[in-house]
Chains A and B, each alone.
Chain A
Amino acid sequence: DAGVIQSPRHEVTEMGQEVTLRCKPISGHDYLFWYRQTMMRGLELLIYFNNNVPIDDSGMPEDRFSAKMPNASFSTLKIQPSEPRDSAVYFCASSLNRDGETQYFGPGTRLLVL
């Protein structure tokens, strides 16, 4: 298996633009997680899905952020409109189980909003 795949790996955009980050989890994994990592706040859980259904989105910073999982092999995290403070590395991770299993992280998308 190729592991968790994220695209793009790098994204530079201007404030106010829409940004869409993509993730393909490991085949067969029931859980998908979106994280954000910054120097100031470290790693933060934004939202996670179980069998394509959003379970907890309490970590989503505000309404500008939305996430979808239309099928078991694809998820998107969208920011609209983007702001400079959204600049961070966004990780997607997947696991077989919610809590007791290892989470496998993708390589991340490094987002810079100018």
Chain B
Amino acid sequence: KNQVEQSPQSLIILEGKNCTLQCNYTVSPFSNLRWYKQDTGRGPVSLTIMTFSENTKSNGRYTATLDADTKQSSLHITASQLSDSASYICVVSTLSSGGSYIPTFGRGTSLIVHP
């Protein structure tokens, strides 16, 4: 069964500190992996998309890594800001034999940045 597991479930850090969120998956065959940021009461916003051949991608202070061999991804946030407080969702996609897009969602990591 395709699964995406995220850890930790929640995280509290002080403003200015770095943090790393983890995503492990069993989705196969792999198509791509996305990280989304979802602020409370809003829709998810895409941070990064990585395909099989990419092992790192950055978006400002956000850097995602992908190890397709171990089926692990991480999202590193540098010099955290209060606005980073949100839920971070990992989504791994596969394509069905019929060419249909099939995403598997993680439950998200809730990050709180304290001043």
Q: Tell me the A residues contacting B by CB distance below 8 Å.
A: 4, 42-45, 48, 55-56, 58, 91, 93, 98-108
Binary flags per residue of B38-61, CB closer than 8 Å to A gives 1, else 0: 000011111001010000000000
Alpha-carbon separation in the docked complex, A101 to B101 (Å): 12
Task: Report, as a range, how many residues of chain B touch the other chain.
Answer: 20 to 34
Give chain B interface residues in 64-115, CB to chain A under 8 Å: 89, 91, 93, 95-96, 100-103, 105-108
Query: Closest chain B residue to A31 by CB distance?
Result: B101
Shortest Cβ gap from A61 to chain B (Å): 16
Most A CB atoms within 10 A — which of B32, B43, B108?
B43
**B5 CB to closest chain A CB, in angstroms?**
12
* Alpha-carbon distance between A48 and B102 when the two chains are bound, in angstroms: 10
If A42-B107, A48-B101 touch, whether A100 touches B44 (CB-CB below 8 Å) is no
